[in-house]
C-alpha cells in the first residue's frame, strides 16, 4: 500500500469506526476479566486467611490445654507434614524476639514485621500481610496473632493455589484477548463497511456526475435506514438540479431564439437600405424600424431583469395602502377598447373598496398581464370575467376567467416558466414572460397565482394576496 493510500485508509470512516469498535470491545472484555480476576483472587486469599486463622485457633486451644511445649512440637510436626516449603511457624515474645520456630531454612528471608507487632499490641486480634520473596515462586501470606497474652504466633503459608490460578489465568487471558481483538476487529470492519457502503455509493454517484452524467442516481436499498434517506435526499436533489439544468438550457435556447428574430430583422433592414436606399426617407424608415425592434428587445431584457430582481427580492417592493378594487376597475377600463375591437365581453365584478398593502405599480403590472392574456387568447364572441373578493384567511382573491382557447394539461404546469409559450398561441404577439412576472410579483407579496383550464373552453387564473403583504 502506497503512503498516500495508507493515509486515505487511515482517515477513512470505516477505519475509525473499526478502531472504535475494536477498542470499546477490548476495553469491555478487559474490564470483565479484571473483575473476574479480583473476585477469584479475593476468594482464594479469603480461603488462605481462613486456614491460617483456624491454625492459630488450634494452637491457642492446644496452648491452653497442654502448654507452650506441646504447641512448639506440634508446630514442627505440622510444618513437616505440610512440607517445609509450604508452611512455617514462629513463636515470638512481646518485643518481637523469636524464641521458637518450625524448620525455617527455606523462609529465612522473611523477617518480623514490626508494624504488625505494633498493631497487635495496640489491640488488633490479628494482622495479615502478603509478601513476595525473590527466588520464591509463590507469594507468602502471613498471619500475626496472639497465642497467649504474652506469646505471638507468626504463621506463613505459600500461596500455591493463588500462583496456580494466576498462571492459568494469564494463559487464558492472553489467548482469549487475542481471539477477542481479532474477532472484534473483523466484526467491526464488516459492520463499518456495511454502514459506509451507502455513503460510498453517494460519493461514487457524485463523482460520476462531476464527470458529466447527471442522469445517474444512487441505488436505494429499501432498508429505510439513514443511508437510504441520504440516498433518497441526494436523488431528489439531483432530480431538482437536473430539472433546473434543463430549464436553464431551454431558457437560454428561448432567449437566443427571441433575440435572433429582432436582430436578424434589424440587420436585414439595414442591409436593404444600404444596398437600395437612395432617399433620406428610406434612411428615416430604417432608423424608425431599428428603434422599434430595439424597444422590443429592451422590453424583453428589462422584463427578464425585473423577474429576476422580484424573485430574488433584490428589487425592494414599496409598501403602500392600495385600493385593489379601484386598480382592477381602471385596468378593465384600459382593456375595454381592445376587448370591444375583438368583440369580447369584459365584465368586472369588484366591490367598491378592497385595500391591501403592496407595491401599486407591480400589482398593476401583474393585473394587466393577466387581463392582456385573457383578452388575447379569447376569440371573438367570448367573454372575460374579473372578480375580486376576500376569503377567511385575510387574503384577497382575484379571479380572471375567460372562455378562450384554453391550455392543454401538458402545457398547464409550464405556463409560468420563463419564455414558455403554448404551441397554439405562437401566432399571437408575446414573448412568454408575462405569467412569470405575474407569479414573481404575487410571490413577492407573499401570495401566489394558480391556473386551471380546459382546452377550447377557457382558463381561470386565481391570484391570492395577503392583505398585509409580507416583508
Ligand atoms: P405570452 O407573452 O406568450 O402571453 P405569458 O407568460 O403571459 O406569455 O403566457 C405564457 C403562455 O401561456 C402563453 O404563450 C399562452 O400559451 C398561455 N396562456 C397564458 N394565458 C392564457 C389564457 N388566458 N388562455 C390561454 N392560454 C394562455
Residues 324 and 257 in one domain: no
The pTM of this model reads 0.58
Residues 115 and 17 in one domain: yes
Under a CB-based contact definition with an 8 Å cutoff, are residues 72 and 91 in contact?
Answer: yes
Task: Tell how far the Cα of 471 is from the centroid of ligand 1, in angstroms.
Answer: 29
- Which of 312, 336, 370 lies at the terminal end of a domain, its last residue? 312
Cβ(415) – ligand 1 distance below 6 Å? yes
Residues 273 and 388 in one domain: no
Residues 364 and 280 in one domain: no
Residues 76 and 145 in one domain: yes
Task: Tell how far the Cα of 470 is from the centroid of ligand 1, in angstroms.
Answer: 28
Query: Residue 276 maps to which CATH number?
Result: 1.10.287.130
- Which of 312, 342, 358 lies at the terminal end of a domain, its last residue? 312
How far is 96 from 421, CA to CA, in rounded Å?
A: 115
Residues 275 and 328 in one domain: no
Residues 27 and 10 in one domain: yes
In terms of DSSP bridges, do strands 87-92 and 151-158 run parallel, antiparallel, or are they unpaired? antiparallel
Domain assignment of residue 152, yes or no? yes
**Planar angle of CA 115, 117, 121, nearest 5 degrees:** 115
Q: How large is the average pLDDT for residues 331-348?
A: 94
Cα 421 from chain centroid?
42
Minimal-distance CA residue to ligand 1 atom 19: 373
Domain assignment of residue 180, yes or no? no
Q: How large is the average pLDDT for residues 398-426?
A: 90
How far is 195 from 322, CA to CA, in rounded Å?
A: 59
Cβ(156) – ligand 1 distance below 6 Å? no
Cell of 456: 377550447
Residue range of the domain that includes 346: 320-466
Residues 131 and 7 in one domain: yes
Under a CB-based contact definition with an 8 Å cutoff, are residues 378 and 403 in contact?
Answer: yes
Domain assignment of residue 252, yes or no? yes
Minimal-distance CA residue to ligand 1 atom 1: 432
For residue range 30-79, list pLDDT tens digits in order: 999 899 989 988 998 898 999 999 999 999 999 989 988 899 999 899 88
How far is 192 from 16, CA to CA, in rounded Å?
A: 9
- Which of 312, 342, 377 lies at the terminal end of a domain, its last residue? 312
Cβ(432) – ligand 1 distance below 6 Å? yes
C-alpha torsion sign, points 240, 242, 248, 253 = negative
Q: Residue 257, Cβ neighbours under 10 Å: how many? A: 10
Task: Tell how far the Cα of 133 is from the centroid of ligand 1, in angstroms.
Answer: 104
Task: Tell how far the Cα of 453 is from the centroid of ligand 1, in angstroms.
Answer: 12
- Residue 470 banded pLDDT, cuts 50, 70, 90: low
Domain assignment of residue 131, yes or no? yes
Query: Residue 32 maps to which CATH number?
Result: 3.30.450.20
Q: Flag whether pLDDT at 216 surpasses 60.
A: yes
- Residue 315 banded pLDDT, cuts 50, 70, 90: low
Count of structural domains, the chain: 3
Residues 354 and 331 in one domain: yes
Cβ(440) – ligand 1 distance below 6 Å? no
Residues 356 and 235 in one domain: no
Nearest to 46 by CA among 146, 154, 128: 128
Q: How far is CA 407 from CA 267, 374, 460, in A?
A: 35, 12, 10
Residue 374 alpha carbon, nearest atom of ligand 1: 23
Query: Residue 351 maps to which CATH number?
Result: 3.30.565.10
For residue range 418-466, list pLDDT tens digits in order: 888 888 777 788 888 999 999 999 999 999 999 999 999 999 999 999 9
Cβ(441) – ligand 1 distance below 6 Å? no
Domain assignment of residue 181, yes or no? no
Task: Tell how far the Cα of 290 is from the centroid of ligand 1, in angstroms.
Answer: 27
From 367, 425, 457, give the residue whose CB has the most ligand 1 atoms within 8 Å, as the site to mutate. 425
Nearest to 209 by CA among 230, 232, 251, 239: 239
Measured in degrees and rounded to the nearest 5, phi and psi for residue 86 equal -110, -35
Match 376567467 to its residue by C-alpha cell. 401
Residues 158 and 243 in one domain: no
Task: Tell how far the Cα of 99 is from the centroid of ligand 1, in angstroms.
Answer: 123
Task: Tell how far the Cα of 373 is from the centroid of ligand 1, in angstroms.
Answer: 6
Residues 460 and 324 in one domain: yes
Amino acid at each position: 500500500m502506497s503512503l498516500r493510500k495508507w493515509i486515505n485508509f487511515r482517515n477513512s470512516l470505516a477505519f475509525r469506526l473499526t478502531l472504535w469498535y475494536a477498542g470499546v470491545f477490548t476495553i469491555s472484555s478487559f474490564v470483565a476479566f479484571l473483575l473476574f480476576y479480583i473476585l477469584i483472587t479475593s476468594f482464594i486469599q479469603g480461603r488462605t486467611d481462613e486456614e491460617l486463622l483456624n491454625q492459630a485457633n488450634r494452637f491457642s486451644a492446644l496452648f491452653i490445654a497442654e502448654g507452650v511445649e506441646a504447641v512448639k512440637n506440634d508446630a514442627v510436626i505440622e510444618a513437616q507434614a505440610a512440607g517445609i516449603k509450604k508452611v512455617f511457624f514462629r513463636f515470638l515474645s512481646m518485643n518481637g524476639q523469636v524464641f521458637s520456630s518450625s524448620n525455617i531454612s527455606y523462609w529465612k528471608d522473611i523477617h518480623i514485621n514490626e508494624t504488625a507487632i505494633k498493631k497487635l499490641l495496640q489491640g488488633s486480634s490479628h494482622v495479615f500481610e502478603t509478601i513476595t520473596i525473590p527466588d520464591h515462586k509463590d507469594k507468602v501470606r502471613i498471619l500475626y496473632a496472639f497465642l497467649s497474652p504474652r506469646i505471638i504466633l507468626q504463621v506463613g503459608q505459600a500461596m500455591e493455589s493463588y500462583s496456580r490460578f494466576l498462571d492459568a489465568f494469564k494463559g487464558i487471558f492472553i489467548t482469549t484477548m487475542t481471539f477477542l481483538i481479532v474477532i472484534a476487529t473483523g466484526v467491526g470492519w464488516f459492520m463499518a463497511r456495511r454502514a459506509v457502503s451507502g455513503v460510498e455509493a453517494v460519493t461514487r454517484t457524485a463523482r460520476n456526475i462531476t464527470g458529466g452524467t447527471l442522469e445517474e442516481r444512487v441505488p436505494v436499498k429499501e432498508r429505510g435506514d439513514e443511508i437510504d434517506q441520504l440516498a433518497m435526499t441526494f436523488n431528489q436533489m439531483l432530480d431538482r438540479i437536473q430539472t433546473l439544468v434543463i430549464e436553464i438550457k431551454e431558457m437560454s435556447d428561448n432567449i437566443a431564439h427571441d433575440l435572433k428574430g429582432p436582430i436578424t430583422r434589424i440587420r436585414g433592414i439595414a442591409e436593404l437600405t444600404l444596398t437600395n436606399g437612395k432617399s433620406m426617407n428610406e434612411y428615416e424608415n430604417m432608423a424608425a424600424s431599428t428603434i422599434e425592434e430595439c424597444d422590443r428587445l429592451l422590453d424583453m431584457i428589462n422584463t427578464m431583469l425585473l423577474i429576476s430582481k422580484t424573485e430574488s427580492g433584490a428589487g425592494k417592493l414599496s409598501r403602500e395602502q392600495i385600493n385593489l378594487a379601484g386598480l382592477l376597475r381602471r385596468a378593465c377600463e384600459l382593456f375595454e377598447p381592445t376587448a370591444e375591437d375583438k368583440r369580447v365581453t369584459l365584465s368586472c365584478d369588484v366591490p367598491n373598496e378592497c385595500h391591501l398593502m403592496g407595491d401599486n405599480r407591480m400589482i398593476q403590472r401583474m393585473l394587466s398581464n393577466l387581463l392582456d392574456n385573457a383578452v388575447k387568447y379569447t376569440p371573438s364572441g367570448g367573454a372575460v370575467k374579473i372578480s375580486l373578493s376576500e376569503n377567511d384567511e385575510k387574503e384577497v382573491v382575484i379571479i380572471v376567467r375567460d372562455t378562450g382557447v384554453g391550455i392543454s394539461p401538458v402545457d398547464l404546469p409550464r405556463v409560468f416558466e420563463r419564455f414558455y409559450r403554448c404551441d397554439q398561441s405562437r401566432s399571437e404577439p408575446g414573448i412568454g414572460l408575462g405569467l412569470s412576472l405575474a407569479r414573481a410579483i404575487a410571490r413577492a407579496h407573499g401570495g401566489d397565482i394558480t391556473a386551471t383550464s380546459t382546452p377550447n373552453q377557457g382558463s381561470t387564473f386565481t391570484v391570492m394576496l395577503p392583505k398585509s403583504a409580507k416583508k
